[in-house]
């Protein structure tokens, strides 16, 4: 598996090819998810192969946005199927990577431990100090797409999402769930 070459190629495509109105689903987000996956892979002691598969899925998980705004996970799976053989991935590895990409679709429904890690990494910011800064980029993106038009609609959407979201891995439950709940409580207080 030629992960470093793949990573460089995909990040370049994301940097150059994503719509400028994808304020949240940008190459910066992909780099953030990749970084969280790298840390988690070390923390849980993944094998070199599993860590590479996880990081490959992280690099590709939003690549579908290069082609479509709707069902981008499926489009990302298609991209993975097309390009990964050129980087030395076999069919079993590709299937695992596609499974991880598809697992990030909201509402998340991971089955394997690797799917759980990437799902938690994808939404890691919910339980971090940069929640509001990153959330602002998602607000701008959803506003651009006509999903929300006011701050009140955005806050209501966040409250609903945070109320129903659960992390999957023990590490994220320990490290991110408490602060995520604090963010939810602050949003609830804002509208009481």
Q: Which of 95, 122, 149 is the last residue of a domain?
A: 122
The domain tally of the chain equals 2
Confidence tier at 191 by pLDDT (50, 70, 90): confident
Percent of the chain with pLDDT over 70: 100
Q: Which of 79, 101, 122 is the last residue of a domain?
A: 122
Give the model confidence (pLDDT) of 27-79 as tens digits: 999 999 999 999 999 999 999 999 999 999 999 999 999 999 989 999 999 99
**Residues spanned by the domain of 37:** 1-122
Q: Are residues 63 and 83 in the same domain?
A: yes
Q: Which of 99, 122, 145 is the last residue of a domain?
A: 122
Check the CA dihedral 33-35-36-41 and report its sign: positive
What mean pLDDT comes out for the span 109-132? 98
CATH number of the domain at 33, please: 1.10.3210.10
Q: Are residues 117 and 141 in the same domain?
A: no
Q: Is the pLDDT of residue 192 over 80?
A: no
pTM of the model: 0.96
Ordered DSSP codes for 85-142:
GGGT--HHHHHHHHHHHHHTSSSP---SHHHHHHHHHHTGGGGSTTHHHHHHHHHHHH
Q: Are residues 71 and 165 in the same domain?
A: no
């Amino acid at each position: 598996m030629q992960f470093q070459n793949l990573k460089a190629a995909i990040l370049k495509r994301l940097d150059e090819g994503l719509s400028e109105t994808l304020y949240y689903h940008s190459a910066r987000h992909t780099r953030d998810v990749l970084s969280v996956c790298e840390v988690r892979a070390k923390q849980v002691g993944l094998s070199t192969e599993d860590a590479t598969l996880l990081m490959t899925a992280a690099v590709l998980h939003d690549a579908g946005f290069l082609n479509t705004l709707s069902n981008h996970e499926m489009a990302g799976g298609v991209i993975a199927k097309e390009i990964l053989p050129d980087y030395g991935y076999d069919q079993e590895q590709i299937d695992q990577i596609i499974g991880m990409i598809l697992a990030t679709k909201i509402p998340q429904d991971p089955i394997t431990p690797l799917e759980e890690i990437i799902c938690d990494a994808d939404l890691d910011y919910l339980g971090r100090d940069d929640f509001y800064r990153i959330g602002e980029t998602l607000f701008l993106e959803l506003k651009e797409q006509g999903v929300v038009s006011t701050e009140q609609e955005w806050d209501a959407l966040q409250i609903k999402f945070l109320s129903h979201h659960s992390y999957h891995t023990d590490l994220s439950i320990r490290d991110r769930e408490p602060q995520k709940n604090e963010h939810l409580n602050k949003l609830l207080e804002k509208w009481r």
